[in-house]
Structure 1
Amino acid sequence: MAGPASRLAAGVRDALSAEAALAARIPGFVARPAQQRLAMAIADAFEHRDVLLAEAGTGTGKTFAYLVPALLSGMKTIVSTGTRALQDQLYLRDLPRVRDALGTGLKTALLKGRSNYLCRYRMEQAKGEPHLLKGAFASREIAAQFQRVVAWSGRTRMGDLSELDALPEDSPLLPQVTSTADNCLGSECPFWGECFVVQARQRAQSADLVVVNHHLLLADLALKQEGFGEILPGAQAFVVDEAHQLPELAAQFFGEGLGARPLVELARDVVGECKDVPGALASVQAPAFALEQAARSLRAAMDGLPVRGTAWRALDEVDIEPAFATLSAALHGMVEALAPLREAAPGFDAAHLRARDQLSRLRRWLGEQAADAADGDDDDDAGFDRTGGATSVHWYELTPKGFRLQRTPLDVSGPLRTHREQSRAAWVFTSATLAVAGRFDHVAQRLGIEHAAELIEPSPFDWDRQALCYLPPRMPEPAAREFGAAVLEAVRPVLEASAGRAFLLFASHRALREAAEALRDGPWPLFVQGSEPRHVLLQRFRESGNGVLLGTASFREGVDVAGDALSVVVIDKLPFAAPDDPVFEARLDAIRRAGGNPFRDEQLPQAVIALKQGAGRLIRTETDRGVLVLCDPRLTQKTYGRVFLDSLPPLPTTRDLADVQAFFSAQSGPHPMPAGGQP
């Protein structure tokens, strides 16, 4: 990227300067050299249709750094974020501010997956058939939510369910009022002309800049167009923010699965279609009942299994194989019952396709290729081994009332590379945590990137003044029984010095529960993951002013608490992936078989990125101050500990509690040089 700046890069640099439109029209905007360098690198990638890997530390201003070149380039651009919450923040807050400041008239659009939009057809079905909602309407609260959805449906323009603040993200009502790729009737739907999903996709197709999330980006790349055709072909540039999340999500989308809930929904949808087709109920009622019962019976049969495991582990149980056979027979019976009704109503034709697809997925998960062929299923398996040998792993996961059977590829670099090359577009991958010890090798390999421009822009914070890293001395081994108690003993004086205002992030739910019990009588308001919805918990923590929040891995990223409310982040153990994850274990085995080193090539890089995410919760602005407490003694006792420390921002490091106490007692100015020094 050396040499004179291109016309776009020069325009981007000028737009982000202290004298330009953004500084004049956006309150609080400050010109940042790191932001300008990042934006110019992105502009260069746009103009040359290159691939860019860019790590931009917190405070760099990467959102503006990619929005400015995207808006000034005039290129059709897809911006993908990690979550729907970030998607809304980007589209509703950041994008309008930059677009208005630049004075560009480009059309923009927000596009989410279909499960975010109201389906009028399914809502009307639920209104007309209350028995379909007997599970969801088990409480008056859910019934009241349904009435609010019905009332809102008459006034919404976009049909985006996020407009309904009172509807929880995990509400059992949602599957009844939204569609899936399986149950959507497509152009046969009587509400096709007013379909919110169709309208959202039409807006995206005509827009210059479209904001999506990774799930939707990958669904489109995986050619799972949800019945509406592809949106992304034709885009000239892609910006993937929070790009460290992409490989794991891609493994989900390039695999396939089936679960208890879709099976039960299929059975109930089939019965619901019968009201307009005389005599249909007599044909499908028994098969629908058999399918619902078979799904429940399989879950009951799996009750003695670990919560997560491989297919061979499940099938090794003598009492479980008959339950799988019963489910297979029930799905086959549903296919047979629906075949004569396909012409009777569009809903029956869609249900027949769903039943066939679920039966094929089950047979593939069980490794029954011969049965697939006999059933006439010539579905291409995306090049992945159906037996779960070298290229994919077949696994299950249990929930309190359901199950998920999943087939996941071990390496998605090939399909990601293919789709990226076929797009002939510019691709920018950016995050605050992409590099490991200053190198992009790990993420590049997982994304299938062989050649890319690279840029690392560290956080512009004054680390010597704003932060301190405390490594408590004399900690036992993380596997020791007394480790949890030692963590709390080391942390209590830190919390006393900081007056609470802390995140305590644990490697396991058991450790979290033990800490919650130990700290429940403490002087600080306690907020425990799982006790309330996450956004409610965070809001109450912010408002408390001196709270202590206990969380696990889900609080390591996507959480932004700026200011005095958060001044301590404690991480009990280095975040190595759980050993009971069948996909991760299979991936390590594949690396080993290929002659690689599983720890060096996979476990260590993944853990480093996860630690960087957790540490990144601490300092969010130029005025924040705080202490990062890392309790794992392996940081100083193992040679690989240096990789973790070298990947973190340049925080002063101490092993002396007195330095922590002095840090919090200092009202202003630089804190004393840590007496403990570097480990």
Structure 2
Amino acid sequence: MSNKYVVIDLETTGNSVKKGDRIIQFAAVVIENDTIVDQFSSLLNPRQTIPVFIEELTGLTDEMVKDAPEFTEIAPKIMEMLNGAFFVAHNVLFDLSFLQEELIMAGYEGFYGPVLDTVEMARILFPSSDSYKLSDLAVQEGLHHDRPHQADSDALVTSELLLILFERLRGLPVQTMKQLHQLSGGLKSDLIDILEEFIMEKEKQIDYIPNGLEEFRGICIKKSPHVKEEQNRNEVYYPLDESDKELLLKKAFSAFESRQGQYQMMDIVYHSFQHERHAMIEAGTGVGKSLAYLLPALYTAVSDKEPVIISTYTTQLQEQLLQKDIPLLEKAVEFPFHTVLMKGKSHYISIEKFAKLLREEEDNYDTTLTKMQILVWLTETETGDYDELNLSSGGRLFWQKVKHDDSFSLRNQPIETRDFYLRMREKAKRADIIITNHSLLLSSLTADKPLLPQSNYTIIDEGHHFEKVAGKYFGSKIDYASTRFLLQQMGVSEQNMLAHKIETILQGDKASQEGLLHSFELNKMMSELLFTMDELFSILAMIAKKSMKPKVQGRLSCPFPLEMTREAKAFIAKAEHFIFLLTDYAKEINARLERLKKVNKKGSMHKMVVHETAAWLDDSEKLKICIRKTIQQNLSEEVSWIEADTRSWQNRTTLYLQPISVSNQLRDILFHKKRSVIVTSATLSVNGSFKYTANALGLITEPCHYEQIPSPFDYRNQVRLIISNDLPEVNSVPLQDYVSQIAAHIISIAEATKGRMLILFTSYDMLRKTYELIKESGFLQDYTLLAQGISGGSRTRLTKNFQRFDKAILLGTSSFWEGIDIPGEDLSCLVMVRLPFSPPDEPMIEAKCDNIKKSGGNPFYDYSLPEAVLRFKQGFGRLIRTKNDKGIMIVFDHRILSTQYGKVFLDSLPEVKATKMDINKTVNFIYEWL
């Protein structure tokens, strides 16, 4: 390929050249004929001070650039390099706009040639990558990136990445390339020119579809993997002796470590299955619980010729089981077995729907990019599972249009292998181990036609989440965004809307118009529906506003008024009117659907519209049931509340309804029906007792084996627990005074630990105030300060950024108390600002406590305390993830020592040395110990 590409990277004093920021380092790499032919880089004197954050990020200092040339001196060289070339950068708009301004200031016209963005290309060609940051892509592609955030290193890595992206593009089938070419006019960069050239190259060869791919509905997809013939398996015997277990596991691990706790757990799971009883097992960090239940599960499944279902809460654990633990199990055992991951239908793509939408013209950038990502992904995915894709928020909206639904199952045999959802269900029929999630397990247990195959054995991992998921499952929620999305899907006036497509098919057939309202009338009905929906959510927002405490910002929750206030009555009346309008509208759509079925037209358009209409009617019925359930709640058994956002009242308002307790439902659908259910997690007991969790899950009245298996880690030598004794009790001083004092403590501790610190809050308001105060103080300018809900990004992204910087401090609320893994030296200090009691005025908490009171119990000791202790244990579990980790945990809340109940928190931890200290002693101790 003869094109010339100049890959450029800049380091600058800030983000905006318009605000006076300047370039401090320029680097360029020239590529011709797929080969790097030239490199150039130079430090530049910006004639201004480099900010501390930029120094920390890039390693470039004022001293390093003081004798460097100014930009005007290297501008002629840059213009010469760019002559006749593509301008390439990782996030091209930043580098191009910066360079453009600098060139114009230096007296040049600037660059107006073609551009390529390696971020945009990577999104399209690596649709499953976790991240599109340059350093992450370098790791993924095995590129050596020794100095991230220095222009010469970044430019070289970007050029190597560009060559890999070209190679990936060339490897695609010509049909996929042509489809990408049709869409590429809507991109930010000039990929269209490259695609044209590659297509011409490809068409000189014999047109063929690469091995392992096939064409379906005009789209190239990966062929269904060949199903291995079922082999006759000899009888298998579970390794009862410790030496047999050891022999087995030695085959799987190159560096095998014998763990008594793991063997103990294996035997409990196996014997529980054999003797048909339930078990609750708390397995401390480092026990190796995944293999401890997988091994006996497999032997039981193969012996009984019946699958074992394993249910988890997080997709991370599902991935770990599939990618890491199952391959180890395959190495360990002598016999073949099958594993399948089962998810709900909305996780799988419908290729029929996608093929149809691919032909529709789009001017929306997100949709264009998503279509291109999916075209590439379909050449590599074996599952068709949405979780493999890394989509933007706009891309996630597009997925709603192409996801699988019940009304669109293709039953004729040749197509079945191309239907990812049906393919997964077929695999499940032969599986020994079925991995799924808590929600799907619950829906299968209550469905008339269960999705999961019949099984008497179930393992619930991450069991401390199961009650919460069950509450959501047995409850309901109505939110503004998805209600509006459902109604607008049907719409009339816009061409892409479903009602318009229905009318298009029915037009011309006069018989089909009899008894139907005209489009105009239908449109009027939809307008009234949307107007009523807006009013409905306005009333909810008004109720939330009225209950709001002064100066509260962000998300808030309040009970939906049980006493019939004026607003509550208005909401119920408006909800009933909305149901009435939706019922009328659905009748009209249903009448059209019946006519559609009779229209003698063939082709995918007609079939698609029939299926989509049926799916829409099904969803609208579910919405009506949801609203009815909410306005007819059983006050003694259910609680409803409103969650709203002060930044956008109506658009971010949700009404929830949930049962106060799920124990009876879980007992009836799960523990009464299955021969053996194993519930496991690292946090199930409170002060040695499983009573609280067993009660919540409905297991308390069932025959059940309870076991606590301690962690093999040496907590006494790996962890120090410090309780601050020089901070006031939070409620004894004004909040601002308390925040000032803890901010000062955090600054001192951070300087001693050099960052690598996670600070857990129970209140977002306190987190925000602390973050702002630390920022304003200027004491931690050298540190990267990350805060949940402020720094932006998901929990996973915040965690990755935390690990990326040496001197990082992360402030998190409730969701950071559990479920994140930060191994090794990345986390050496954990600060708990308060003991993690849930706010007593939260509607669900209030309802649970009232319930306990009515039945003669003590809400604090029966609910609030055990719930807080479990969360405290989860927070503690973040600190030590391997046997070589070392860490300090600091608790600012001295109720842990000054109250009677504080002892329950300490007694629930592994054996750890706890010491009271003031801040000066704490800082000295940290310097010595870490």
Class of the TM-score when normalised by the shorter of the 2 chains: 0.7 to 0.9
Q: Shift in Å at residue 614 of structure 1?
A: 0.7
In the alignment, what sits opposite 2:675?
425
Deviations 1:208-263 (A, max 9, x none): 0011111221222232x7xxx31445213211111011011111112233333343
Q: Is the CA contact 1:334–1:355 (under 8 Å) kept in the aligned structure 2?
A: no
Query: Residues 483, 23 of structure 1: CA spacing in aligned structure 2 closer, same or farther, 3 A cutoff?
Result: farther
Deviations 1:250-281 (A, max 9, x none): 11112233333343233233343341532574
In the alignment, what sits opposite 1:292?
530
In the alignment, what sits opposite 2:825?
564
Task: Tell me if 1:255 matches 2:510.
Answer: no
In 2: Cα distance, 1:169 partner to 1:620 partner:
36
How many residue pairs match? The answer is: 629
In 2: Cα distance, 1:578 partner to 1:667 partner:
35
Q: Is the CA contact 1:34–1:60 (under 8 Å) kept in the aligned structure 2?
A: yes
Output aligned runs, 1:484-495, within 5 Å: 484-495=739-750
Higher RCO (Cα < 8 Å, 6 or more apart): 1
In 2: Cα distance, 1:113 partner to 1:64 partner:
25
In 1: Cα distance, 2:275 partner to 2:237 partner:
11
Equivalent position amino acid for 2:590 in 1: A
In the alignment, what sits opposite 1:547?
808
In the alignment, what sits opposite 1:112?
343
Range moving further from structure 2, 143-152 or 572-581: 143-152
Q: Is the CA contact 2:405–2:615 (under 8 Å) kept in the aligned structure 1?
A: no
Query: Residues 70, 256 of structure 1: CA spacing in aligned structure 2 closer, same or farther, 3 A cutoff?
Result: same
Q: Shift in Å at residue 193 of structure 1?
A: 6.5
Which residue of 558, 575, 578 corresponds with 1:309? 558
Range moving further from structure 2, 77-86 or 255-264: 255-264
In the alignment, what sits opposite 2:581?
330
Q: Shift in Å at residue 467 of structure 1?
A: 0.5
Range moving further from structure 2, 406-415 or 658-667: 658-667
Q: Shift in Å at residue 630 of structure 1?
A: 1.2
Structure 2 gap ranges (5+): 1-235, 492-496, 508-517, 545-555, 597-609
Q: Shift in Å at residue 533 of structure 1?
A: 2.7
Query: Residues 155, 623 of structure 1: CA spacing in aligned structure 2 closer, same or farther, 3 A cutoff?
Result: closer
Which residue of 86, 92, 97 corresponds with 2:328? 97
In the alignment, what sits opposite 2:240?
11
In 2: Cα distance, 1:104 partner to 1:217 partner:
28
In 1: Cα distance, 2:280 partner to 2:711 partner:
16
In the alignment, what sits opposite 1:58?
285
Output aligned runs, 1:624-643, within 5 Å: 624-643=885-904
Equivalent position amino acid for 1:445 in 2: N
Query: Residues 41, 215 of structure 1: CA spacing in aligned structure 2 closer, same or farther, 3 A cutoff?
Result: same
Query: Residues 289, 402 of structure 1: CA spacing in aligned structure 2 closer, same or farther, 3 A cutoff?
Result: farther
In the alignment, what sits opposite 2:639?
393
In 1: Cα distance, 2:353 partner to 2:652 partner:
23
Range moving further from structure 2, 211-220 or 316-325: 316-325
Residue 471 of structure 1 aligns to a residue whose secondary structure is: strand
Residue 831 of structure 2 aligns to a residue whose secondary structure is: strand
Q: Is the CA contact 1:239–1:429 (under 8 Å) kept in the aligned structure 2?
A: yes
Output aligned runs, 1:6-45, within 5 Å: 10-11=239-240, 13-17=242-246, 20-45=247-272
In the alignment, what sits opposite 1:173?
398
Deviations 1:489-534 (A, max 9, x none): 3333322221111101111212221222233330322222232232
Residue 799 of structure 2 aligns to a residue whose secondary structure is: helix
In 2: Cα distance, 1:169 partner to 1:8 partner:
52
Q: Shift in Å at residue 463 of structure 1?
A: 1.6
Range moving further from structure 2, 511-520 or 593-602: 511-520
Range moving further from structure 2, 650-659 or 617-626: 650-659
Which residue of 913, 917, 921 corresponds with 1:652? 913
Which residue of 357, 360, 366 corresponds with 2:631? 366
Deviations 1:333-361 (A, max 9, x none): 32232232231234334433333332232
Query: Residues 592, 314 of structure 1: CA spacing in aligned structure 2 closer, same or farther, 3 A cutoff?
Result: closer
In the alignment, what sits opposite 1:149?
374
Residue 824 of structure 2 aligns to a residue whose secondary structure is: coil
Q: Is the CA contact 2:239–2:245 (under 8 Å) kept in the aligned structure 1?
A: no
Query: Residues 535, 15 of structure 1: CA spacing in aligned structure 2 closer, same or farther, 3 A cutoff?
Result: farther
Range moving further from structure 2, 476-485 or 569-578: 476-485
Task: Tell me if 1:508 matches 2:763.
Answer: yes
Equivalent position amino acid for 1:162 in 2: D
Output aligned runs, 1:210-609, within 5 Å: 210-223=434-447, 229-232=449-452, 234-271=454-491, 272-274=497-499, 275-276=501-502, 277-279=505-507, 281-282=519-520, 284-306=522-544, 307-312=556-561, 316-318=565-567, 320=571, 323-343=574-594, 344=596, 345-367=610-632, 387-398=633-644, 400=648, 401-449=651-699, 450=701, 451-479=703-731, 480=733, 481=735, 482-520=737-775, 521=778, 522=780, 523-530=782-789, 531-609=792-870
In the alignment, what sits opposite 1:381?
none
In 1: Cα distance, 2:590 partner to 2:327 partner:
51
Identity %: 27
In 2: Cα distance, 1:107 partner to 1:83 partner:
22
Query: Residues 281, 28 of structure 1: CA spacing in aligned structure 2 closer, same or farther, 3 A cutoff?
Result: farther
Deviations 1:574-630 (A, max 9, x none): 111233432222122111112221111111111111111011100111100001111
Q: Which has the larger radius of gyration?
A: 2
Q: Shift in Å at residue 21 of structure 1?
A: 3.2
Normalised TM-score (structure 2): 0.64
Q: Is the CA contact 2:366–2:392 (under 8 Å) kept in the aligned structure 1?
A: no
Deviations 1:380-434 (A, max 9, x none): xxxxxxx331111233333542433332111211121112245333211111100
Query: Residues 594, 268 of structure 1: CA spacing in aligned structure 2 closer, same or farther, 3 A cutoff?
Result: same
Moved over 6 A (4+): 188-193
In the alignment, what sits opposite 1:159?
384
Deviations 1:4-38 (A, max 9, x none): xxx96643744542xx1322431333111111111
Range moving further from structure 2, 285-294 or 495-504: 285-294
In 2: Cα distance, 1:609 partner to 1:454 partner:
17
In the alignment, what sits opposite 1:384?
none
In 2: Cα distance, 1:295 partner to 1:563 partner:
51
Query: Residues 454, 93 of structure 1: CA spacing in aligned structure 2 closer, same or farther, 3 A cutoff?
Result: same
In 1: Cα distance, 2:393 partner to 2:612 partner:
28
In 1: Cα distance, 2:359 partner to 2:483 partner:
22
In the alignment, what sits opposite 2:354?
123
Deviations 1:85-118 (A, max 9, x none): 2111211222112222223311101112233222
Equivalent position amino acid for 1:208 in 2: D
Query: Residues 208, 533 of structure 1: CA spacing in aligned structure 2 closer, same or farther, 3 A cutoff?
Result: same
Normalised TM-score (structure 1): 0.86
In 2: Cα distance, 1:169 partner to 1:609 partner:
37
Q: Is the CA contact 2:383–2:424 (under 8 Å) kept in the aligned structure 1?
A: yes
In 2: Cα distance, 1:200 partner to 1:472 partner:
54
Task: Tell me if 1:69 matches 2:296.
Answer: yes
Q: Is the CA contact 2:643–2:654 (under 8 Å) kept in the aligned structure 1?
A: yes
Residue 287 of structure 2 aligns to a residue whose secondary structure is: coil
Query: Residues 69, 395 of structure 1: CA spacing in aligned structure 2 closer, same or farther, 3 A cutoff?
Result: same
In 1: Cα distance, 2:351 partner to 2:398 partner:
14
Residue 589 of structure 2 aligns to a residue whose secondary structure is: helix
Residue 337 of structure 1 aligns to a residue whose secondary structure is: helix
Q: Is the CA contact 1:396–1:405 (under 8 Å) kept in the aligned structure 2?
A: yes
